[in-house]
Every structure is written in C-alpha cells, then in structure tokens.
Chains A and B, each alone.
Chain A
Amino acid sequence: MIDLHRQAFKEEAYELLAELESSLLELEERPDDQDLIGRVFRAMHTIKGSGSMFGFDDIASFTHEVETVFDMVRNGKLNVTGRLVNLTLAARDQIRAMLDAADSGAETDLQASAEIIVGLRELAGFVAADGGTPERQEKAETQRKDPVTYRIRFVPPRDIFVTGTNPLNLLAEMKELGTCTLVAQTDGFPPLEEMNPEGCYVYWEVILTTDQGENAVRDIFIFVEDDCELKIEVVAEHNRYDEQQDYKKLGEILLERGDITADEMKAVLSRQRRFGELAISEGILPEGRVQAALAEQKHVKEVRQEKQAADASSSIRVPAERLDLLVNLVGEMVTVQARLSQTAAQRDDAELMAIAEEVERLTAELRDSALNIRMLPIGSTFSKFKRLVRDLSAELGKQIEMTTEGEETELDKTVIEKLNDPLVHLIRNSIDHGIELPELREAAGKPARGTVRLAAVHSGDSVLITIADDGAGLDKEAIRTKGIERGIISASAELSEKELFGLIFAPGFSTAKTVSSISGRGVGMDVVKRAIESLRGSIDITSVRGQGTCITVKIPLTLAIIESLLVKIGNDSFMMPLALVDECVELTREDVARSHGRNLAHVREHLVPYIPLREHFRITGPPPEIEQIVITQVNGTRVGFVVDHVIGEHQTVIKSLGRAYKDTEGISGATILGDGSVALILDIPQLVQAVETEQN
C-alpha cells in the first residue's frame, strides 16, 4: 500500500518537475510574471509537502530551501535573475536525481545538493540584509483561503437615509468580495399612507461566497455597525473533499435560520407542493426570506459544482496497459462487427441487418473514443526541448532561441514517446551543424541570435512536425563529396537536390569534420529515419544554403488503425497502407512479354518498376490472365506491386505479429478480416529496399 502511494507521489513529482522546468524557462523570459512565480512556488510546495508525507525526507528538506527562496520572490523581496533561474534549474535536476535514486537505492550527490543550497542561501541572504516587509507576507497568507459561503442579514437603522449613508454603497462593496446575491426584504413595509417616505424600511438577506475572512465583511459595515443589525453566519466552508453536491433542502435552511418552526415546516410538508410556494401562500413567511434561502442553496450548489467540474477536468491517472487492453478489445470488437455485417448481408435478413448496422455505428464511436483517450498534446515534449536548446546553446557558445507552435496538437501516446529520441537528434543537429556562431552570423548579415522553430500541425490523418532553423543550410558539395568518399554514390551520379539531401540518412554518413559531443558521430540521421519509419512516418528535408534547413516529419495520428487497400494473391490476403498507394493499373501477359523480364511497366509514357509479389512471397499456382499493379510512392519514386486482385479499401486494426515473426522482412503487422481470416500488412518501404539490395 505504502509503495503504491510512493509510486503515485513519484509520478506526480515527475510531472511537477516537468512543469517546473517549463515555468522556469518562461520565467527567464518574463521575470516579472507573478503567475509564473506562483506556479514555481506551488510546484515546490507540493513536492515538499507530499514528499515528506511519503517518507522522501531528503527531497522534502532540500525542496524546502528552494521554496523558501521562491517565497521571497513571491513576496517581492527578491528579484528573478539569471542566476536564480540557473540555480533553481539545477535544483530541479537534483530533485529528479533524488527521485530516481530513491528506488535504486543509489547515493545521490550530496555535494551537489549542498552547493545548490549554499548558492540559494547566498542569493536570499544577500537580499534579506536590506530587510523584508513582514506585513506583505501576512497578507498573502490571509488571501490564500478556500471560499466560504456566508449568510448575512443587514437591517439598516430607519433613519439611515437622513444620516447620509446609502446602504446600496455598502452592498456594492460587498459584491466586490465575491459572488453575492442580495435579497431585499419587503415584509416590514407599512401601508403607503403610514410610510415615512424618508425612512428606511427595507432590509437585506445577503448570500456571499468569498475567499475573504469574516472580518473583511464586517469592515464594510464598520461605520454603521453600532446602529444597525448585522448578523453574519457561515453557511458552508468549501474546503472538505467529502462534500456532497446536494445541499440542504429549502425547509432545512429556513428552519436553521429560525425563519420557521419545526411544526410549521411539518404542516407545510404534509401537503405535496413546492415548499417555498406553500410556505408563502400559507402566510408563514415573507417571500423575501424564501428567496434568500433559495439563493443560499444556489450559491453552495454552484461552488460545489464548480469544484466538481474542476476535479473532473483535472484527470484520472490510468496505467497505460489498461488503455492498451481497451484498445485491443475495441480492435477485436471492430473485427467481430465486420463479421457480423458480412453474415447479416449474406443471410439477407432485414432484422439482423438492422442490428448489424446499429452495432457498426456504436463500434465506430467506441473505436474513435477509445483511440482518443490515448491522445496527448505534444506540448509536453516540446517544452522538454526548450531546456535542451538552452543548455546546448550555452555549451556551444551560440545564441539560440527556440519557438514552438501547435503545442496543443494531439498524437497517440505511444507515438509521442517514440518520437522523442528522433526529435532530440534532429534538434541537436540543427543546433550543432545548422546555427552558426554569433560572429559568423553577424558577418553573414543575420541576427546574432539564431532561431530554431518547432511546429506541429494536423494534416489529414497525419501530423506534420517541422524543425526549421535559420542557420547555414546544407552544403550540397560537401554531401556529394562525402557520398562518393563513402561509396554510397558513384562519382558520376547525377542526383536531384532531394536525392542528395536524402543521402544524409544513409547509414554511416556524417559531414561534420570533427566529432563533437553533441552530434556528428554519424549514427544520427539513419537512426532517426528508421525510427520515424517504424512509426509509419516519413521525413523530408529542404534547405537553402546560407538561409537554413527545414526538416518535416510526417507521422500518422495513431498506430492502432490504418486505412489500407486489401489485395489478394492466390488465396492469401494482404493489406497495403493507403497513404502510400497512388493508383492501380492492369498488367496483362502481353505487357510482361514485352518488357523482356525486366519488371518494368509502361504507365502513361513513364516506366514504372514493379515487384511481382507472387514471386517474392513464393506463392505457388498460376497467376490470373490479367494481374493488377498497385503503384505506390516510396521516398519520392514510384514503385509497382503486382497482385492478383484488388479488393478495395479497408479500415484496419493493426495487430502486431508474435515474437517469432518479429523480424520478418516486408511485413509490419497483421489484421483479421470480416470472415475471420488473417491478412498481413505489407511494409512497402522495406520491401522496396529489400528488392533493391537483392539486385545490387
């Protein structure tokens, strides 16, 4: 049990630390932002509090030091400086290290902790010497409170108008304290002829929900308090977690306020009508009292609803495996539903068809929402990179600013996780090889400070992530020379710009003349490309010498489902990702004969190489008279795949193959068809590559 809590604390702490980091980086840019300072303080405060609760005493005491400093910042006693941000970032890393070490039992670097604390104390002590303002701190203390709902009765003296006080001004002041409902009470009004037109007969029942203390309310009435009747009662304090959303019934409120007696209430309740209406028509109560009681009910309900809404919108922590299980089940459900629809169609049974259609609609919705649960905004990954850019540019003596766009773009959780490493590589490359040193930039007429722009945007069923820098751009000649040197291209090869840039993704390619600690070991880009392709994504480079490089990564929204084209060879079914398919053309025996076994098809004056899948997969039996070529677009070139029949489009829930088939070339997964048979999903880029290497 304890372990469970400790685990929950750790998870929360990691999240808080991530948030802390991004807040700190923002704070560096906007040192006066009180909101950010508050966020940093709260994050520290929470880590400290729950840390000590779950026995992470070292973390609690260390965090306490940082919190103390930020409390001073919050109270305006200390300014945010670069040094403070640096120290706090270091502290954040230290807390993280302590968290990591907590499980493994490894010793944390106490020396580092001590250094950070000394640094922080120096900062704080230096300023503490010129004195703080204790009152301010006190004020901040009284303001941080949970809201309380008060019931206030204010009966002004009869002659209040004559003394020159307008009760409305007092009430207006009260409205500023929080949510306030005024109910004027008119039950004391005499008949018109007896009424002193200058007297005050009205009094008020006020329901006020505020985070200020009772004294703040009393202060408003300070000048009239002696002459008037002022009653302030606490109705509800909204701080307990076990609050029910239902507040007291109207009758209970009135009884509690002493507006009616228990007997009267029983008498009214014995008749089945709305209590308020009854009580008024019985003449037990003036309507103003009921109105006030109703207002009270409403206030409390609203605050509680808000609280609940806030709780609900926060989130529920669910282990990822459970979500995976859910998505798997939904996947099977989709398969079964397809079978149901197929069976219903074959039976020609109207009733069954209707049910099948209903199930189809529900399954589609279920599938979409199940997949949606796994979607996360990419923003958290982006903010991690901010730190990376900050640290790297400092290390390399470059001035680099990173801008991000489209943080709210959502991607499947697993995709985001697997995207992290490739993106780190690409950003490192931009910083290391792309952006020049400040002197060089200025010499080239560019601002000394370079920019790396990271953007994410939805595009159909994919997400495009761009990493653009305004650095030196790619050196085509250097790439070419290197390509020849490494034997990747022949010296006479004529390459388009695209093909040339594509070379940097070749294994063992690196143009950096020296190997730096950041990148340039030549293991970067081919790994990146493979990682992106394993996500069924693609990567594209554009670059202008002297102006910068832009790398675009295209990633499908989810890995669980793809649109695909169902094809058949013999008795076997295969799926081809529809995103890669360009068109389908026929292939007759004559066409084959004409190309003299070179596997080239004539499509509108162009030659398209094709791969006969029947041969490739060694499927026995004669092919049909007319075969089909599915032409796909792979890395910018058109490659055909010869199959027997093209069946049609299909939405496919991807099942991974068992461990035994994990390394099977050319197959990325499998799916179950409506009739229960299995179809393999073809890995088109890999197939093309395999055939190419075979021919070389």
Chain B
Amino acid sequence: MDEVKLERVKDPQGATEVLKVSGGVTICEARDFREALLAALEAAPEVRVDVSALTGIDLTGLQLLCSAHQSALRRGKNLHVFDGGNATFREAANGAGFQRHTGCPQDRACSCIWVGGES
C-alpha cells in the first residue's frame, strides 16, 4: 500500500479547510490521521476531506471519518468528504457496511458522509 500523505490546504477565503488524503490509510497511520482531522476541525468552520486520491482505507480510517463528522456536527461545524468518484474508497465503505439511506441523529443538516454516492 502506498504511503499515506496528509496535506492541509486553506482556500483563499479562509472559510474552508481542505484535508487532502492520498495513499493508503491503515491502522499504522490512524493516529496521524486523527490528529490531522482534529487540527482541520479546529482551523475552520468548514472542512473538506478530499479522499479522491486514496488508494486504500481500513476500518480504523472509516471509523475516524465517521467520528470526525459526528464531532464536527456537535461543534456546529461542517465536514464533507469528497471522493471524486474514487472506487476504492466507495468499495471500502460499502464493503464494511457503512452505506446509509439517512444520516445519524447528529446529522440534522443531512450531511451524512455515507448517504448516497458521497459528494
């Protein structure tokens, strides 16, 4: 599996923080991934996790994404996952049973990252 790369980019307006994740996220990188997600949530009200260049993700990674989304909602912030049609990511999520018809109770804004074909 390719080495994971976590890049944080701020868009010009400063309202959205983009966390670009590329390579493979496994249990070895889980701690770093969590820190990166937390830092991104601190930095801006709107976080976009770009997983379009992801080449692999295990259960720990999926758990962290879901938890990050829930945490963002609790803080009144927004977190989106952008997969750009990344089949690896979709297969991993569906294969582990994360796909949903409706979001969780925290998800008042209908932004659940697992609903439909992730935006």
Contact A198 B105, CB 8 Å, known A189-B66, A191-B71 = no
Cβ B34 vs Cβ A195 within 8 A? yes
Contact A287 B104, CB 8 Å, known A192-B38, A202-B96 = yes
Could you mark each residue 173-185 of chain A with 1 if its beta carbon is under 8 Å from any beta carbon of chain B, else 0? 0000000011110
Cβ B102 vs Cβ A161 within 8 A? no
Could you mark each residue 286-312 of chain A with 1 if its beta carbon is under 8 Å from any beta carbon of chain B, else 0? 111011001000000000000000000
Cβ A167 vs Cβ B59 within 8 A? yes
Question: Which of A127-135, A274-282, A436-444 touches B?
Answer: A274-282
Contact A202 B63, CB 8 Å, known A171-B97, A182-B96 = yes
Instruction: Determine if A648 is an interface residue (Cβ-Cβ < 8 Å).
Output: no
Cβ B97 vs Cβ A197 within 8 A? no
Give every chain B residue within 8 A of A204 (Cβ-Cβ).
97
Cβ B102 vs Cβ A189 within 8 A? no
Total interface residues on B, CB under 8 Å, equals 32
Give every chain A residue within 8 A of B66 (Cβ-Cβ).
186, 189
Q: Looking at the assembled complex, report how far the CB atom of A619 sits from the nearest CB atom of chain B, in whole angstroms.
A: 79
A200 to B62, CA, bound (A): 11
Cβ A280 vs Cβ B71 within 8 A? no
Cβ A287 vs Cβ B105 within 8 A? yes
Instruction: Determine if A621 is an interface residue (Cβ-Cβ < 8 Å).
Output: no
Of the candidates A193, A202, A277, which one forms a contact with B38 in the assembled complex, judged by CB atoms under 8 Å apart?
A: A193
Cβ B41 vs Cβ A192 within 8 A? yes
Q: Looking at the assembled complex, report how far the CB atom of A455 sits from the nearest CB atom of chain B, in whole angstroms.
A: 48
Cβ B97 vs Cβ A198 within 8 A? no
Chain A's interface size range is 35 or more
Across the two chains, which residue of chain A brings its CB closest to B29?
A197
Q: Looking at the assembled complex, report how far the CB atom of A250 sits from the nearest CB atom of chain B, in whole angstroms.
A: 12
Across the two chains, which residue of chain B brings its CB closest to A203?
B97
Instruction: Determine if A190 is an interface residue (Cβ-Cβ < 8 Å).
Output: yes
Instruction: Determine if B111 is an interface residue (Cβ-Cβ < 8 Å).
Output: no
Instruction: Determine if A485 is an interface residue (Cβ-Cβ < 8 Å).
Output: no
Q: Looking at the assembled complex, report how far the CB atom of A303 sits from the nearest CB atom of chain B, in whole angstroms.
A: 20
Cβ A276 vs Cβ B104 within 8 A? no
Instruction: Determine if B52 is an interface residue (Cβ-Cβ < 8 Å).
Output: no
Give every chain A residue within 8 A of B58 (Cβ-Cβ).
166, 168
Cβ B71 vs Cβ A283 within 8 A? no
Across the two chains, which residue of chain B brings its CB closest to A285?
B105
Could you mark each residue 532-554 of chain A with 1 if its beta carbon is under 8 Å from any beta carbon of chain B, else 0? 00000000000000000000000
Cβ A161 vs Cβ B67 within 8 A? no
For the A-B complex with A184-B97, A287-B102 known, give 13 more contacts whose Cβ atoms are closer than 8 Å: A161-B60, A171-B97, A191-B67, A191-B74, A192-B41, A193-B38, A197-B34, A198-B27, A198-B60, A202-B96, A277-B102, A280-B104, A283-B105
Question: Closest 4 CB pairs between A and B?
Answer: A182-B97, A197-B30, A184-B97, A192-B71
Interface residues of A (CB under 8 A from B): 161, 166-168, 171-172, 181-184, 186-187, 189-193, 195, 197-198, 200-202, 204, 206, 276-277, 280-281, 283, 286-288, 290-291, 294
